Amino acid sequence: MKNWKKWAAGICALSLCMTAVSLPAAAEGEDDIALISDTSEEMPAADGTADADTADDTAEEATRSESLEEIAITAEQVTQYMQKKNSCDGITFYYRPEDYEDTISDEDVADLLDDIELAGIDDATGEVVCTLEEDSDNSDFVVFLSPESRWLVYMDPEYSKVTMVRQIVSSLDNELLFRSRDNRTLELYNKDYDEVERSYTTDGAAKDGKVTYTNEDGWQVVLADTYDAVISSARFVTENDKLALYVDDDTAVIGLYDKAKNKMWWSTPENVGHDKTATNTIVEDLSSSLKMIYGEPDARSTTNMRSKGDAKIKVKDKSSGVKITYSFKKAGITVPVTYTLEDDYLEAKIDTADIEEDDTSETGKLTTSLSMLSSFGAASSTDEGYFVIPDGSGALIRFNNGKKTAKSYTGYVYGSDVTAVPLTEPAVTEQVSLPMYGIVNGDNAMMVVCTEGDSNAKLTASVSGQSKSSFNVCGFDFTVRDSDTYYMSGDNGTALTVFEDGDMKTDTLAVRYYPLETEDTPDYTDVAAAYRNYLTEEAGVTNTVENTAPSLYLNFYGGTKKEKSVLGIPVSMKTALTSFQQAEEILQNLSDGGAENMKVQYYNWTNAGISGKVDIKAKAAGCLGGNGDWNDLQSYAASNGVTIYPVSENETFRSGSGFYTFQDTAVRISGSYARIYDYNLAYGTQSTVNKPLSLLSPSAFSEVAEKLTGSLQKKDLNTLSLGSLTTALYGDYGKQAISRDAAQQLLEDAYQQITDADISLLANGANAYALPYVQEITDVPLQSSGFDVFDEDIPFYQMVMHGVKSYGTSAVNASATPEETVLLAIASGSSLHFDMIGEETSTLKDTVLDGLYYASAESWTDYAAQSYAFSKAVLSGLGDQTITGYERKGDVITTTYENGTVVETDLAKQIVTVDGTAYAMADYVEEGSWNEA
């Protein structure tokens, strides 16, 4: 164990093949190991010259294979023309004569010997097994190496005899790890092959196809029992009652051992070095515990860097983990990551203030993206299980699902930043509202949570066969400096890319890995339970369920601006869609039909809301009936168990109410104002029919919350909905320099201001950061985005929230199949939600609310009341119970609750069975009750 620093300066990357291995505790080591390489991958950006998300990996041919020695000389030629030395480890060696060129008349043999100084013949087979040339010498021995470096032989300095023979384990795993001929010893050499940096021994006993080697420093290396593949290599770092942490100092591979399950979770997938379908780039990608993308603004390009192959690695033990420093020399960037073992999880964490970047004004290179342990828990091509993806309601990506031609999954946590307004309408997808994912692999499961930096995270997942890999992989990437594209005037064909400048605005990136302890075979309900426990025990989410019966959520839309002719002149005027009197009539009709526990979000109920201005004054609009009718509606609601949440929707705005577009509009990274356009329905391009709205800068959130709270208190109102500001997250990249991370904190501060004033918040959809502040949630989707790589939708969001927060679906009457929506809502424990307006839907024509063409209260009141009665009959008493089981087989969904209640929903027969009692939808909902009008 000598000369660590010399070896550290030049050792090649170790490509490990990981599998589940039980490793005992061992002594902690203090040595710092380094690894150097200088390979990288440059890629074009978003304008066509660089694109960090479009690698050329798929174009690279998969050519990975073991290096093979070509033996050109025969045993007869060796014994005839070379000088016999001695036998060592079952091989007899022959040395090339010094005068071979003069004494050997056979020119072919002489030519062969030009490249062969030493040859070895196997004593058992009589065949030539290795040919070697001198690599180096010193006063103690002479080093000989075969052409492909698969054989390593030592001779004495006098060249009189061979003293040691070593054979490589696998060139795909480690070019410097050799085994003795009897397979009892492993040795890791330095790059000059003249010094052993680490050695290991074994008793030779094989178990489950593996042979384990150990040394006095606590390292364990596991080989396949064929001795031609490295299964794992790591040393013990620390442990607690539940978990143990291991690390490979050479490669920064991390191992997390779950004692209860006897399961080792590795940060590099097992057998990755021997993945014959993978390219070298993909193997390096999968083998890297840290990946980075740096941007070059002047060149408008980005470059991928991987710790495997691109970084010098330094490992330092800490009290409860390790700190690994990754130095990317080519980029001039150093990133320290701390891996800490806690009671029931492993945390990987980056403090961005500790990231060192060479002077970016000189290098032109700045960090744009980081990814820690992105291959953690990867599944092999023979594993059975799935990833739990919190896309929309939730989805499963099953391992090895054969969807090789489908696109790999990428979901931006909390949605993409809307300041970067696209020229064409983006695809309609659901949002990733929860910064986590799950892994269920056979008898083992893990819940992974992004606890810091989540506002800048994106979740990626791929299955075997995608990106030329045999592995199924899921993990987080973090954007630490965002980018934007813009077009020069008159040239819509060439996009120019700009990067967010200045320091990184996100202070910390942190991901936790929780192995799950389950009595039975785990499934996604266990992942949901684990995340629910995290929310309630660590993230400040409290139980606010007030009624065990389901609610009926309603969205009323008060008014809108509509162009009318006044004396032949077109004038944009406030127009009522649902007056306060009409709202009361709708509620009364619903109540008469049996609806109870109604919760109303009232949009556009103020003049500012109707006009699109920042809505901070709780003053009822005159066109809807004014304060008098509003107060009457409030009195009716209070007397009849109805809760009204007035909506203050302030994501977009027009000048007025003390806020102005030239000073309060969020600025894009490109430097232009963020203007939100409608899109042409036919072509998907930006429409100029309606004037674009401005995106309100997050810098205004605190002032809006303060003024809005004061106004609500003056009006004795104690409920509120913030509309899209519990789901929309965006920055302001102008003078305010507000990142998404900072914007998230500003939103949370605003929520806190409101709730501190004893005002209850209803969330129109809720990202995870809003959950500690909201009373209840509506518009929870019943489906995922439906990407091709998905295999099955599950109500994961609902399984997390049930029994903690009351929640409702997206609008039933906006669905093309309302009956199925009602049944899916019941199966997921969701309350129903309807959008309604009091006027005829023709009033919506040529207004910004024309998308509510389906929302006639007259058409839907009976159906809403009847479907609520159906929902109440089957779900009453379950509102405070968690969901402990969910299974779908064909059209039948079985949902199990904490108290043992089993709800079976048959979508085809439209029958719900609760603990053996059947409830037919037809007995509650009259056929055609939603389309008679």
CATH of the domain at 775: 3.20.20.80
CATH of the domain at 323: 2.70.98
| pLDDT grade for 419, boundaries at 50, 70 and 90 | confident
pLDDT at 28: 34
Asked if residue 91 belongs to a domain, the reply is no
Q: What is the pLDDT of residues 5-52, one digit of tens each?
A: 333 333 333 333 333 333 333 333 333 333 222 333 444 343 333 343
Average pLDDT score over residue span 583-612: 96
Count of structural domains, the chain: 2
| pLDDT grade for 504, boundaries at 50, 70 and 90 | confident
Which stretch of DSSP H or E encloses residue 552?
A: strand 552-557
pLDDT surpasses 60 at 3: no
| pLDDT grade for 689, boundaries at 50, 70 and 90 | low
Residue 618 sits in the same domain as residue 499: no
- Residue 489 sits at the vertex; the CA angle it makes with 487 and 495, to the nearest 5 degrees, is 15
Beta strands in 737-785 (DSSP E): 760-764, 776-780
| pLDDT grade for 773, boundaries at 50, 70 and 90 | very high
Q: What is the pLDDT of residues 228-246, one digit of tens each?
A: 999 889 999 999 999 999 9
* Domain extent for 686: 552-878
> Is residue 807 a contact partner of residue 875, using CB atoms and an 8 Å limit?
no
Which stretch of DSSP H or E encloses residue 177?
A: strand 174-180
Average pLDDT score over residue span 626-643: 96
Residue 564 sits in the same domain as residue 476: no
Asked if residue 846 belongs to a domain, the reply is yes
Residue 288 sits in the same domain as residue 380: yes
Lowest mean pLDDT among 87-91, 115-119, 136-140, 805-809: 136-140
Place of tokens 């999968």: 286
> Is residue 828 a contact partner of residue 782, using CB atoms and an 8 Å limit?
yes
pLDDT surpasses 70 at 294: yes
3 state DSSP class of 290? strand
Residue 493 sits in the same domain as residue 619: no
pLDDT at 27: 33
Q: For residue 797, give the nearest of 786, 782, 785, 775 by alpha carbon.
A: 782
pLDDT at 342: 96
Lowest mean pLDDT among 183-192, 196-205, 386-395, 418-427: 418-427
Question: Which among 878, 898, 926 is the end of a domain?
Answer: 878
Mean pLDDT comparison of 1-15, 100-114, 349-363, 704-718, highest-scoring range = 704-718
pLDDT at 82: 95
| pLDDT grade for 502, boundaries at 50, 70 and 90 | confident
pLDDT at 54: 37
Average pLDDT score over residue span 850-878: 95
Q: What is the pLDDT of residues 574-592, one digit of tens each?
A: 999 999 999 999 999 999 9
Beta strands in 50-173 (DSSP E): 83-88, 91-95, 118-122, 128-137, 142-145, 151-155, 162-170
Question: End-to-end CA distance of the chain, in Å?
Answer: 86
Cα atoms in the Cβ-side hemisphere of radius 13 Å centred on 266: 28
Question: What percentage of the chain carries pLDDT values higher than 90?
Answer: 74
Question: What percentage of the chain carries pLDDT values higher than 70?
Answer: 89
Q: What is the pLDDT of residues 269-281, one digit of tens each?
A: 877 888 888 888 8
The Cα-based distances of 736 to 160, 611, 695 in angstroms read 77, 27, 14
Lowest mean pLDDT among 282-291, 662-671, 848-857: 662-671
d(CA 265, CA 541): 29
> Is residue 855 a contact partner of residue 836, using CB atoms and an 8 Å limit?
yes
Two tokens, residue 367: 């960090």
The total number of residues written for the chain in this structure: 933
> Is residue 912 a contact partner of residue 903, using CB atoms and an 8 Å limit?
yes
| pLDDT grade for 930, boundaries at 50, 70 and 90 | low
Residue 166's beta-bridge partner residues? Answer: 152, 180
pLDDT surpasses 80 at 619: yes
Residue 776 sits in the same domain as residue 870: yes
| pLDDT grade for 417, boundaries at 50, 70 and 90 | confident
Residue 611 sits in the same domain as residue 502: no
> Is residue 297 a contact partner of residue 214, using CB atoms and an 8 Å limit?
no
- Residue 871 main-chain phi, psi, to 5 deg: -60, -45
Asked if residue 473 belongs to a domain, the reply is yes
Residue 511 sits in the same domain as residue 564: no
Average pLDDT score over residue span 506-517: 96
- Strand order, beta sheet including 652-653: 652-653, 693-695, 675-676
Residue 399 sits in the same domain as residue 484: yes
Q: What's the whole-number average pLDDT of the chain?
A: 88
Residue 486 sits in the same domain as residue 633: no
Amino acid of residue 295: G
pLDDT surpasses 90 at 505: no
Residue 480 sits in the same domain as residue 610: no
Q: How far is CA 461 from the centre of its chain?
A: 7
Q: For residue 468, give the nearest of 208, 286, 706, 735 by alpha carbon.
A: 286
Two tokens, residue 328: 């990317």
d(CA 897, CA 367): 47
Asked if residue 392 belongs to a domain, the reply is yes
pLDDT surpasses 90 at 819: yes
3 state DSSP class of 872? helix
Structure letter (DSSP) for residue 656: B
Q: For residue 733, give the nearest of 699, 767, 700 by alpha carbon.
A: 699
Amino acid of residue 455: S
Q: What is the pLDDT of residues 526-570, one digit of tens each?
A: 999 999 999 999 999 999 999 899 999 999 999 999 887 777 777
Asked if residue 908 belongs to a domain, the reply is no
Beta strands in 429-507 (DSSP E): 436-441, 444-452, 457-462, 473-479, 483-487, 495-499
Greater model confidence, 27 or 787: 787
Q: For residue 458, give the nearest of 435, 426, 492, 427 by alpha carbon.
A: 435
Question: Which among 538, 569, 584 is the end of a domain?
Answer: 538
pLDDT surpasses 70 at 832: yes
pLDDT at 521: 93
pLDDT surpasses 70 at 877: yes
Mean pLDDT comparison of 8-22, 653-667, 787-801, highest-scoring range = 787-801
Asked if residue 781 belongs to a domain, the reply is yes
Residue 504 sits in the same domain as residue 623: no
Question: Which among 538, 561, 596 is the end of a domain?
Answer: 538
Residue 801 sits in the same domain as residue 857: yes
Asked if residue 634 belongs to a domain, the reply is yes
pLDDT surpasses 70 at 69: yes
Average pLDDT score over residue span 288-316: 90
Asked if residue 146 belongs to a domain, the reply is no
3-state secondary structure 404-422: CCCCCEEEEECCCCCCCCC
d(CA 349, CA 474): 18
